[in-house]
Structure 1
Amino acid sequence: MDHISRPPKQTEDVVSQSPAFNRQEVYLRPNPARVIVRPFRPATEPRDLSPVDKTRANHIVDRVLALGTEEATLELTEVLGNFQSRHRNLLTLLERRAEEMEDAFASHTLFTRAQRLLVGAYFLNEYSFEASALFNPSIVLDPDQSGALEGGHRVILSLRAVGEGHISSLTFRSGFIAADGSVSMAPASRLASLPRVESRESVEGGEAVEVGFDPAEELSERVIFPLTLSQSNGIEDARFVTFEDEGRRTNYATYTAYNGLAIRSELIETTDFVSFRMMPLRGSAARNKGMALFPRKIAGRYAMIARQDNENLYLIYSDDLYAWDGGTAIVKPRFPWEFVQIGNCGSPIELDEGWLLLTHGVGPIRKYSIGAVLLAKEDPSKVLARSSQPLIRPEPSEREGYVPNVVYTCGAMRHGSRIILPYAVSDTFCHVSTIEIADLLSSLTP
């Protein structure tokens, strides 16, 4: 089923937006048929990353290995018949999971390969990672521009997917921007898979993890599911930006790690969207969510927009990409649509006129709208202009969803004279609009 679809005619006007916006015919909707297999842990605690209850695990392994050779082979054949078409390289996944269960094999000296693979199957389960929502996108240029349209670009959208238990993961889509600014997205693959963990390392503040996908997999197959205790209930709202430093380009994204009780900001980095490194951030500013990295250093230092007090936007500088403290409040709630709080909607976009920072404001009945702020190029602590009215706000005709009354984005990009803006509606599905930069700037109040 193609989940890049148009909504019913009677609800086509999803949000109220500036007349200068050009709404694209692009809709990215959650598809519950897309599943991954992840470790199943019979545990004493109902948490995804809790330790396996070894007694229960041993009992399961004992029962499998007590099966006769023929019976075990028949059971494995049935498993493969049911699930092999739903996953790439299922046999490899079963073997990999069996390797992780070596301790449970300790008391057994003789078993067949079929029994071993069957044990792997008993400690996996399918998870519909976008069953509930697919939202909060950010957009960057694809490092691979082969096949791009003349005058256009290949792009990558990152998205937050939510499944059973409100667990968030990170997934991706490929797209194209034509010379005239029109946007098209490639359909998502039917298959989806998790990466192989290449390394884990204890670092200050938590754990650094490096993962890698099979380069032969389509981009939309790649799903980064929680890997550490700090992320155990979600990898939320990745704000990707292409960072340039001395001719080298790296795609960084700040995201919110959520363990079910507490949140903190972490950083993911990649050059190819095949291999990724995830690191915790340190410092007082990293204890909250909503951090966004500038796409280059300013006066030789890293710069970040943050919201460590849950209310205002701060500008922070650091000589260490992974440590963020202090900062200066530069944007505070001023207009009724942002009286509750104001936050960023992705990394600042560099224009000739200054740094364009998309914002979100929260108003009455916790209604989220999108606005913008223009910061001075050489000194981003100076606000040159800002939205007195939202650029995009929820439309009453369709504001129901996983979280009602919300429009939100985690990052836009510049394409010539336009801003390409993907955004989410009611924390449920995603849409794309474009706007002429000149029109956007003229809508701001000095």
Structure 2
Amino acid sequence: MTRKNIRITPDFKRVIPRFFNSGNERSLQIINKVVEMPEDAVCEVLGSVKKEFSCRYKDINEIFERHYSRISHLVPNGMTVTTERQHLLGAYFTMEYSLEAAALFNPSVVEAPDQSGLKPGEKRVIVSFRATGESHISSIEFREGVLDKDCNIHLEPPARFLTEGKLTGEKLNDKEHFAQQLSQLRLPEDIHVGILHQLTGEFTYSEIDIVLRTLLRGIKDPSDQQNMKQHVLELVDASYELHFPDYTGLSERVIFPVTFTEKNGIEDARFVKFVEEEGSCTYYATYTAYDGSFILPKLIKTCDFQHFEVSPLYGKGAVNKNLALFPKKINGKYAMLSRIDGVNNYIMFSDDLYEWENPILLQQPKYPWEFVQIGNAGSPLLTEKGWLIISHGVGPMRKYCLGAALFDLEDPTKELGRLQYPLLMPKEDERDGYVPNVVYSCGAMIHEGMVFIPYAVSDYASSFASVPLDKLLKALLKGG
């Protein structure tokens, strides 16, 4: 392995404006105080706020107007609210959120859609990161760069401003169809009736999530409560779409939690360039949505990294973390890696990209450095010798290392070779961070005969490494 002399560290200055919800009672108190202010005092305070913060955003007025609209219904009837007073109220209901305050880690890399204007041997790439801020809420950020002929990466400087995607559609569920499915769960009668009683004819995932939080409080056993919630929510479509404006650059775009399913974080996106059978390409990413108690595996779909479609994954195999999609169909079926039990690697095949059943045990911890658990470190890589899977293993002192294994092209349930020793382990200056003694990756790629691996440094920062593909394959086939 050759480590690149690059360390991507969190930047506290990368902030986004979030709606600051104080609750209706406190919000009314703030609104009444602002409404009672003389107009000259409103202009003075607003002017001071804009002077201090307008340089941090492309259009601070638009932000204040958007956040004012969310509390405008609380303004006393008949009250005329000037534009300046609306902006000031918007400012009181705005807070800055530092996306990378805790960490910028768990990267993945894919070939970018646009490969124009490059020199021979170069490839433009997109690197995704898990950014973690206050309250440990995670989101997805991007950087664009170029791999040169020697597999060194040259990243473009990140943009000054950040923009959240606009929610352009959240899936509505039909109550009548849902009621038919719900009847098959054999829930306690009071909960069954309570759910249907509180739902409208068409409802969103967010709405039923709120209903369940209230109804399930009576279930004393937390595990029973969790299982019941999971079974019900598996029947509900949590899909939505995000769109970023044309004027935004890639490094300005951040996918921040927008629905209840992921309000506590979007974790460990594993991006892959998927080649369809007719030759067209689509980008997918599996990730873990976390609402504070419930994990929901989800899938992102995009063709341009500007418009994103987000949908949940279903089935007995779509549980836990560590799902990674193969970059093409195998024998006419989609293929996915998973770790349904938190310990072993599994593989699944499906005709439906969003439904995964019948996981097959693929790998178990074999060597001391992976005795605690083994999992994938991103989507498999296609080589002439087989499917190359970069793995992660956990050993003594909860030390995370990266490994590698090779599987048959036509039947990837057959392991052809596996490294006995780690491919990459934390060196001394990589051991300290938010979670010590960890190297971790969410996706590598092959470029100019090299395996290029972005990796996290102790759940705090990110770096890069590469290894010659031919040497790695030779070691794998020899059982090294």
TM-score, normalisation: structure 1: 0.90
Give the aligned partner of residue 440 of structure 1: 472
Give the aligned partner of residue 199 of structure 2: none
What SS does the aligned partner of 1:394 have? coil
Give the aligned partner of residue 320 of structure 1: 352
Give the aligned partner of residue 55 of structure 1: 25
Matches within 5 A, 1:4-403: 21-42=1-22, 53-105=23-75, 107-202=77-172, 204-245=235-276, 246-403=278-435
Q: CA deviation at 1:397?
A: 4.4
Q: CA deviation at 1:119?
A: 1.5
Letter matched to residue 460 of structure 2: T
Letter matched to residue 146 of structure 1: S
Aligned partners of 2:32, 2:312: CA distance in 1, in Å? 39
Letter matched to residue 242 of structure 1: K
Q: CA deviation at 1:155?
A: 0.5
Q: CA deviation at 1:191?
A: 1.9
1:20-60: CA deviations, max 9, x gaps?
x2222222111111111111111xxxxxxxxxx22322332
TM-align CA RMSD: 1.4
CA 1:265/1:87 → structure 2, altered by over 3 Å: closer, same or farther? same
Aligned partners of 2:133, 2:117: CA distance in 1, in Å? 33
Aligned partners of 1:411, 1:329: CA distance in 2, in Å? 21
Aligned positions, number: 416
CA contact (8 A) 2:121 2:448 kept: no
What SS does the aligned partner of 2:7 have? strand
Letter matched to residue 294 of structure 2: A
Q: CA deviation at 1:68?
A: 2.3
Letter matched to residue 407 of structure 2: L
1:178-225: CA deviations, max 9, x gaps?
122221111212222212211111454442121111222221111111
Q: CA deviation at 1:108?
A: 4.0
Aligned partners of 2:430, 2:272: CA distance in 1, in Å? 30
CA contact (8 A) 1:87 1:193 kept: no
CA contact (8 A) 1:175 1:183 kept: yes
1:304-337: CA deviations, max 9, x gaps?
0000011111110111111112211011111101
Give the aligned partner of residue 18 of structure 1: none
Which one of the candidate residues 442, 450, 456 is aligned to 1:410? 442
Stretch deviating more after TM superposition (97-106 or 69-78): 97-106
CA contact (8 A) 1:205 1:281 kept: no
What SS does the aligned partner of 1:401 have? coil
Letter matched to residue 264 of structure 1: L
Aligned partners of 1:186, 1:198: CA distance in 2, in Å? 29
Matches within 5 A, 1:424-439: 424-439=456-471
CA contact (8 A) 2:370 2:395 kept: yes
Letter matched to residue 71 of structure 1: A
CA contact (8 A) 2:150 2:448 kept: no
CA 1:347/1:108 → structure 2, altered by over 3 Å: closer, same or farther? farther
Aligned partners of 1:40, 1:315: CA distance in 2, in Å? 43
Aligned partners of 1:148, 1:277: CA distance in 2, in Å? 30
Aligned partners of 2:411, 2:446: CA distance in 1, in Å? 21
CA contact (8 A) 1:303 1:316 kept: yes
CA contact (8 A) 2:61 2:87 kept: yes
Give the aligned partner of residue 204 of structure 2: none
What SS does the aligned partner of 2:472 have? helix
Aligned partners of 2:243, 2:35: CA distance in 1, in Å? 33
Higher helix share: 2
CA contact (8 A) 1:213 1:222 kept: yes
Letter matched to residue 438 of structure 2: V
Unmatched segments (≥5 aa) in structure 2: 174-234
Aligned partners of 1:213, 1:149: CA distance in 2, in Å? 29
Unmatched segments (≥5 aa) in structure 1: 1-20, 43-52
Higher strand share: 1
Aligned partners of 1:315, 1:29: CA distance in 2, in Å? 34
Q: CA deviation at 1:267?
A: 0.8
Aligned partners of 2:73, 2:120: CA distance in 1, in Å? 56
CA 1:108/1:360 → structure 2, altered by over 3 Å: closer, same or farther? farther
What SS does the aligned partner of 1:165 have? helix
Aligned partners of 1:384, 1:83: CA distance in 2, in Å? 58
Q: CA deviation at 1:106?
A: 5.6
Aligned partners of 2:36, 2:454: CA distance in 1, in Å? 54
Aligned partners of 2:105, 2:332: CA distance in 1, in Å? 34
What SS does the aligned partner of 1:285 have? coil
